[in-house]
Amino acid sequence: MSSETRKAFPFPDFEPRWQARWETEKTYRAPNPGDPEFDASKPKFYALDMFPYPSGDGLHVGHPEGYTATDIISRARRKQGFNVLHPMGWDAFGLPAEQYAIKTGQHPRVTTERNVARFTGQLKRLGFAYDWDREVNTTDPGYFKWTQWIFLQIYNSWCHPVTGRAEPISSYTGPDPDSVRLAYVAEVPVNWCPGLGTVLANEEVIDGKSEVGGFPVERRPMKQWMLRITAFADRLADELEPLDWPAGIKARQRDWIGRSEGAEVVFQTGRADSNERTPVTVFTTRPDTLFGATYMVLAPEHPLVASITTPAQRAAVEAYQKETSSKSDLDRGVAKTKSGVDTGAIAINPVNGEAIPVWIADYVMMGYGTGAIMAVPAHDERDSEFAAQFGLAVREVVVPTATETSSGCFAGEGVAVNSSFLNGLATAEAKSKITAWLEEKGLGQKTVNYKLRDWLFARQRYWGEPFPIVWENGKHRALDETELPVLPPSLDDFKPTGTPEPPLSKATDWVRYSETATRELNTMPQWAGSCWYYLRYCDARNPQRFVSREAERYWMSGGSQRPETDATSRGGVDLYVGGTEHAVLHLLYARFWHKVLFDLGHVSTSEPFHKLVNQGLILGEDGQKMSKSRGNVVNPDSVIEEFGADSLRLFEMFMGPLEQVKPWSTKGVEGVYRFLGRVWRLVMTENQEGEWEPSSKLSATAELASKPRKVLHETIKKVTEDISSLSFNTAIAQMMVCTNELTGLEARPVTAVATLLHLLNPFAPHLTEELYERLTASWPEAAPAGQLALQPWPQWDESALIESEVEVVVQVNGKLRDRITMAADADHAAHEAAALASPKVLEHTAGQTIRKVIVIPRKLVNIVAN
RNA sequence: GCUCGGGUGGCGGAAUCGGUAGACGCGCACGUUUGAGGGGCGUGUGGUUAACUCCGUGCGGGUUCGAGUCCCGCCCCGAGCACCA
């Protein structure tokens, strides 16, 4: 094996060997409560990766970044005495598989299985300590049976208006249960994408194009399944607060929910030449500016436009409506200048009886609020711009308080003026006074509005979960639990029909459920399976329930004690690592489902993910985003081939902070590879035959001198703490320091080397197990037999960290002038005396008066002189 | 425009209850080992200077004995949102 391909250490030999051993021995199997091996005295730790969509491209180097992070902390926690749940699975339904199937004619199940096999092989080659017995696959009937079951829970529930919680539909006493279900059918304007042959959620439409494929998307009304996520809007926003999530992700979720408090105000509208009046309700967050409303604007699609428009304006109004309807939301959004048309109608301001003109304009959206606004150009920038453009009146009704400066349109808070009974009130008081006044007169009320819309839950696809729903006499009805799972029909032709009719309609036998009933033809969106997979991992093979109560309670709500996160812990997954691309969609949907399940008593926590961390994108070596077209994609397989899995793992953690965006560097991989080579040679040496044997410098009897002992214990401390704070890059740096220190010793104590291997084990599991096994073979007393992964984590000795002498910095006027050595227990006076005696200090203070001496014992002395 | 990140050597990054700026790694240079290459090992490496010095954490102020770190005002880069009334 001394060929030119010879490696610095024989990883091509030992990496597969250890991987095979872990697999056959099930080293990382996590027993559940009730299992014989389960130890209830241990605390639990649940580390979750966002499971991948098994694409045809295989793993890229971005995947192992987050996976390695969770793997390291999982391995460390296991050694620290936790029961660790660290699973992996496949989010395998979805458009790409189906698109590929349509293109190649292969059934998506076939390509999915092939892709899963490829991903699995790649993940195993990276040495992740997953409990593969808990692997889940969203396309597995044993899995989606429960996705359908959860849908039934949602379907059979409603949100009680008083408690704000999901309850069984049986507690609803009103006339029409179908009108309040959390899953309901509605005729709504949807994002129909002809290119994909399906409707899409708002979230899946980016700038008027489909997120997948970039096809144009048009609005059209269709009958669709919706989930009533808006009923949970407040809880989804409020309960973010205690979660240990990045502030940016919380902000994005809050923005997406878009809660805004204000009031609805009713204006009577009609023609100036007639007494006929129609009420129009507007929404405003600034009811205190009601006296400043100088015109009203309706969205062009507003249903009352046609009836109130005067004959003289009709042609212009209709032309404008036509123009806006042909514009995409994107065009509407980027328009540089405001546009609009006067309807000729008037609205009566309920607060002062004033008649103001009613316009239509595309800066008012039908989809938000009531689709109508009162325009206050003095205090709203959009209204101000519009008024300026069309010469509409402006009336100031709020003046800034003295400290604020007003320039042009003042949209801030201040004091009300020109507002009758509101005059002199601060904005907040004016708001509540006018709102109370409106409510008293029946002219309006306090209202909360959300940007969040109900979740469009149906897709016209083949490769997704069928709904457990049939239609009979024009009404939908849930199938019984015993009929689950509802399997998709086997179809040879799963192409979109080209019309909104889903491809499942082609399976005529399947569609016919009974003499009188037919099956729902839509399938669920890809998000469905990922809404609850973290629960299935707790009890992945349970045929009776989606997760057993015991397993759920143990893994999701704390088990016994918890690690250092106690104070803020509310239960749930202890650490969830994934990319920011799921900041709103997946994380919001999963939280919604979890809350429904919580309200119905199926799970024990109200939030699923206690701590969330986003790993940063890995860029190509050129600093650009990796992409095939740029040719800068790094393939993990070839990195493993050349440097080994441990090097890849270590490098991805050494590149920089986990959350940060950072560029790939082949030289950097070589660097950590060299480091692992040094660790290897710390233990092993090459004999004359070119074979590796334990180094003669190793010694079971040698004592560690105080300096290397200090370094070793500093390393234990830093690595332990850095793993908890996910600061893997600095942990690795410290292990490099320690390795260099131990390498420099003439006699290397086996216990010290073993300690280093323990610390490095979560990062480089193959190399460390291999070396440790060799240590065990020669020095069983110093290195007790057994896998490192299953042995306890080292403890540091505080006393080893204390030095008898310390170096103290001496500054004159804040500038570094000298360094002196002091006894560790030297007092203030001793520091001062020693510093003042320094020749360098004397030199720099010559001819000056010493004003002050600042002493930080063991650190620094600063002499102030002039 | 708004929100969230972030600006530190040639490069990735350390160090923020204010206290030695640049840990660790890459690169580079020199030395050593080797028949040579590769690899290994060792030393050095912010700028400036012969040296002493002086200057250095995006820019400008401020607080302090002392500021990468705190405060005020800007600039630049990245990500997200974007007429949400």
| Stretch A724-744: mean pLDDT | 95
Band of pLDDT at residue A1, cut at 50, 70 and 90 = very low
Q: Is pLDDT of A369 > 70?
A: yes
| Stretch A59-79: mean pLDDT | 95
Residue A538's pLDDT is 97
Residue A460's pLDDT is 87
Nucleotide nearest to A667 (CA to C1'): B26
- Close Cβ partners of A347 (under 8 Å, ≥ 6 residues apart): A267, A268, A269, A280, A296, A355, A356, A357, A358
Q: Is pLDDT of A627 > 60?
A: yes
Q: What is the DSSP letter of A252?
A: H
- Return chain A residues 811..840 having CB < 7 Å to nucleic acid strand B: 811, 813-816, 819, 840
CA distance A447 to A450: 10
Q: Is pLDDT of A191 > 60?
A: yes
Residues of chain A with pLDDT > 70, as a percent, come to 95
Residue A560's pLDDT is 40
Q: How far apart are the first and last CA of chain A?
A: 71
Q: Is the CATH code 3.40.50.620 the one for domain A11-135+528-619?
A: yes
Residue A466's pLDDT is 96
More confident residue, A563 or A411: A411
Distance of CA A191 to the CA centre of its chain: 25
Band of pLDDT at residue A2, cut at 50, 70 and 90 = very low
Q: Is pLDDT of A95 > 70?
A: yes
Question: A218-232, A318-332, A773-787 — which is least confidently predicted?
Answer: A318-332
Q: Which of A458, A453, A608, A643 is nearest to A10 (CA)?
A: A643
- Return chain A residues 367..396 having CB < 7 Å to nucleic acid strand B: 367-371, 373, 380, 382, 385
| Stretch A320-348: mean pLDDT | 79
A733 CA → B23 C1’, Å: 8
- Mean pLDDT of chain A, nearest integer: 90
Nucleotide nearest to A247 (CA to C1'): B4
A608-624 per-position pLDDT tens digit: 999 999 999 999 988 88
Residue A497's pLDDT is 75
| Stretch A17-39: mean pLDDT | 96
User: Closest residue by Cα to the C1' atom of nucleotide B3?
Assistant: A251
Residue A333's pLDDT is 57
Residue A386's pLDDT is 92
Query: Could you tell me where the DSSP H helices lie in A618-693?
Result: 636-643, 645-654, 666-683
CA within 13 Å, CB half, A481: 10
Residue A574's pLDDT is 94
Residues of chain A with pLDDT > 90, as a percent, come to 69
Q: Is the dihedral of CA A669, A671, A676, A677 positive or negative?
A: positive
Nucleotide nearest to A374 (CA to C1'): B85
**Is A263:A444 a contact under the CB 8 Å cutoff?**
yes
- Return chain A residues 439..498 having CB < 7 Å to nucleic acid strand B: 449, 451
C-alpha angle A140-A144-A148 in degrees, rounded to nearest 5: 165
More confident residue, A502 or A569: A502
A323 CA → B35 C1’, Å: 84
- Say yes or no: Cβ of A335 under 7 A from any atom of strand B: yes
| Stretch A512-537: mean pLDDT | 95
More confident residue, A79 or A411: A79
CATH topology of domain A260-449: Isoleucyl-tRNA Synthetase; domain 2 (3.90.740)
| Stretch A801-819: mean pLDDT | 87
| Stretch A81-93: mean pLDDT | 96
Q: Is pLDDT of A261 > 70?
A: yes
Residue A491's pLDDT is 81
Band of pLDDT at residue A108, cut at 50, 70 and 90 = very high
Band of pLDDT at residue A630, cut at 50, 70 and 90 = confident
Question: A329-333, A361-365, A430-434, A545-549 — which is least confidently predicted?
Answer: A329-333
Residue A4's pLDDT is 42
Residue A178's pLDDT is 94
| Stretch A722-750: mean pLDDT | 95
ipTM of the complex: 0.95
- Return chain A residues 711..730 having CB < 7 Å to nucleic acid strand B: 727, 729-730
CATH topology of domain A630-800: Isoleucyl-tRNA Synthetase; Domain 1 (1.10.730)
- Say yes or no: Cβ of A800 under 7 A from any atom of strand B: no
A474-513 per-position pLDDT tens digit: 999 999 999 999 999 988 777 777 777 888 988 989 999 9
Q: Is pLDDT of A407 > 60?
A: no
- Return chain A residues 40..59 having CB < 7 Å to nucleic acid strand B: none
More confident residue, A581 or A141: A141
Buried b / exposed e along A102-117 (16+ C-beta atoms within 10 A):
beeeebbeebbbebbe
| Stretch A635-647: mean pLDDT | 95
- Return chain A residues 227..246 having CB < 7 Å to nucleic acid strand B: 246
**Structural domain boundaries in chain A:** 11-135+528-619, 149-233+454-527, 260-449, 630-800, 803-865
A337 CA → B74 C1’, Å: 30
Q: Is pLDDT of A515 > 80?
A: yes
Residue A336's pLDDT is 67
Question: A363-372, A391-400, A559-568 — which is least confidently predicted?
Answer: A559-568
Nucleotide nearest to A819 (CA to C1'): B20
Say yes or no: do domains A11-135+528-619 and A260-449 share a fold. no
Residue A563's pLDDT is 43
Chain B nucleotides reached by a protein CB under 7 Å: 3-5, 11-15, 19-21, 23-27, 37, 39-42, 53-54, 65-67, 78-85
**Is A64:A126 a contact under the CB 8 Å cutoff?**
yes
Return the CATH class of domain A803-865.
alpha beta
Q: Is pLDDT of A281 > 80?
A: yes
A439-472 per-position pLDDT tens digit: 999 999 999 999 998 998 998 889 999 999 999 9
* Helix, strand, or coil (residue A142): helix
| Stretch A408-437: mean pLDDT | 90
A729 CA → B14 C1’, Å: 10
A656-665 per-position pLDDT tens digit: 999 999 999 9
Residue A219's pLDDT is 76
